[in-house]
């Protein structure tokens, strides 16, 4: 039994790894990639997603839908200072590659209507597409089997501000809608989880790259920019929150600890915009999400390393792949 899911992504660096897991892991059945405004320029994100599909040899096999090009209310904020253009200096000729005409929000609604209660959605960018799907069709949450969200911090530091993690900061209004919509939700937060359990050292990154497969080389090159940024802000390695979110869905045995929380998002304050209030059960609030608190870091690394070692024949040449 494979796990069917839609991946909603602002593709840069670790989003690419999340896509690779979705097509290389035998447990995964990636039905669609939906693009949302986030990390880097929208068209660049789309090219990054197509490159990831190409290096895995499945370009054209997984439909790619373009979604919201800006947050619901606010101006778009980029993370280009973290990711560069998110490609690790790689590029690919996308001439003639087919992108679906249907909008990503409509695709989310249609695909879940065709198989209600079957598909998971993994959201690893700002939650704009997911919120817009809720706004357009309030029946959407009940048709999604489970929604996995990368975002927020669990009573800990943010990354784009002291209070907020990037995905929720960029579109706090969307995040607030999504957490109030009635989905079955699992959250993979930035702190403390990701920076403790999903950080790879330079040595670990090199070990993955040395496997020499196209995927392994691609992995190392696209993750290098973030590695340098992470080290500059005191994180001892390359961070992998997005691929961790897909991994948690495909391999729940990686999770050592998770608990129910009542999660809500700050959308009114400037100072704490996008802050995720995660109430742990003592404040009289009904839980609306399961928050992952600890994963087996060694097992996660081994899983990523072995998956990046899978041999593929890239669909198209990728310029700059060493």
Whichever of 56 and 143 has its CB closer to Ca ion, that residue is: 56
Whichever of 124 and 163 has its CB closer to Ca ion, that residue is: 124
Q: How far apart are CA 84 and CA 101, in angstroms?
A: 28
- Six-digit token pair at 102? 């249907």
Q: How far is the CB of 124 from Ca ion (least distance, A)?
A: 4
Find the Cα–Cα–Cα–Cα dihedral 227, 34, 128, 181, rounded to 10°.
-110
Instruction: Return the closest-CA partner of residue 119 out of 18, 5, 197.
Output: 5
Residues that bind Ca ion (CB under 5 A): 10, 15, 124-125, 242
Whichever of 124 and 265 has its CB closer to Ca ion, that residue is: 124
Whichever of 243 and 315 has its CB closer to Ca ion, that residue is: 243
Instruction: Return the closest-CA partner of residue 86 out of 44, 121, 129, 115.
Output: 44
- Six-digit token pair at 63? 């439909």
Phi, psi of 42, rounded to the nearest 5 degrees: -60, -45
Whichever of 6 and 124 has its CB closer to Ca ion, that residue is: 124
Q: How far is the CB of 179 from Ca ion (least distance, A)?
A: 18
**Residues recorded for the chain:** 322
Q: How far is the CB of 150 from Ca ion (least distance, A)?
A: 6
Q: How far is the CB of 298 from Ca ion (least distance, A)?
A: 24
Instruction: Return the closest-CA partner of residue 61 out of 25, 21, 102, 33.
Output: 33
Q: How far apart are CA 130 and CA 134, in angstroms?
A: 6
Whichever of 9 and 154 has its CB closer to Ca ion, that residue is: 9
Q: How far is the CB of 149 from Ca ion (least distance, A)?
A: 11
Q: How far apart are CA 125 and CA 37, in angstroms?
A: 8
Whichever of 15 and 165 has its CB closer to Ca ion, that residue is: 15
Q: How far is the CB of 117 from Ca ion (least distance, A)?
A: 26
In the chain, which ranges are continuous DSSP H helix? 14-24, 42-55, 80-83, 104-114, 128-136, 140-143, 166-170, 172-179, 195-197, 202-209, 214-232, 241-250, 297-308
Q: How far is the CB of 125 from Ca ion (least distance, A)?
A: 5
**What is Dmax (Cα atoms) for the chain?**
56
Whichever of 10 and 25 has its CB closer to Ca ion, that residue is: 10
Q: How far is the CB of 39 from Ca ion (least distance, A)?
A: 6
């Amino acid at each position: 039994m494979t796990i069917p899911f839609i991946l909603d992504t602002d593709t840069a660096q670790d989003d690419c790894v999340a896509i690779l897991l979705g097509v290389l892991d035998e447990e995964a059945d990636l039905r669609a990639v939906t693009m949302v405004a986030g990390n880097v320029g929208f068209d660049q994100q789309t090219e990054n997603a197509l490159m990831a599909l190409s290096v895995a040899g499945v370009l054209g096999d997984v439909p790619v839908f373009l979604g919201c090009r800006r947050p619901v209310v606010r101006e778009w904020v980029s993370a280009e200072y973290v990711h560069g253009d998110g490609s690790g200096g790689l590029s690919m000729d996308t001439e003639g590659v087919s992108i679906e005409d249907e909008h990503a929000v409509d695709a989310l609604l249609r695909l879940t209507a065709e198989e209600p209660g079957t598909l998971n959605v993994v959201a690893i960018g700002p939650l704009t597409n997911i919120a817009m799907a809720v706004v357009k069709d309030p029946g959407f949450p009940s048709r999604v089997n489970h929604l996995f969200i990368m975002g927020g911090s669990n009573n800990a530091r943010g990354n784009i501000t002291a209070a907020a993690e990037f995905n929720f900061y960029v579109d706090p209004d969307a995040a607030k809608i999504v957490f109030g919509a009635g989905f079955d939700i699992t959250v993979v937060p930035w702190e403390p989880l990701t920076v403790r359990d999903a950080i790879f050292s330079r040595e670990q990154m090199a070990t993955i790259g040395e496997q020499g497969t196209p995927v392994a080389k691609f992995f190392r090159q696209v993750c290098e920019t973030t590695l340098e940024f992470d080290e500059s802000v005191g994180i001892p390695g390359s961070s992998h929150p997005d691929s961790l979110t897909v991994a948690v869905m495909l391999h729940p045995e990686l999770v050592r600890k998770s608990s129910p929380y009542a999660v809500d998002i700050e959308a009114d304050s400037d100072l704490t915009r996008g802050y995720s209030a995660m109430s742990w059960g003592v404040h009289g609030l009904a839980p609306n999400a399961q928050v992952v608190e600890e994963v087996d870091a060694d097992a996660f690394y081994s899983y990523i390393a072995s998956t990046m070692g899978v041999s593929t024949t890239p669909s198209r040449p990728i310029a700059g792949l060493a």
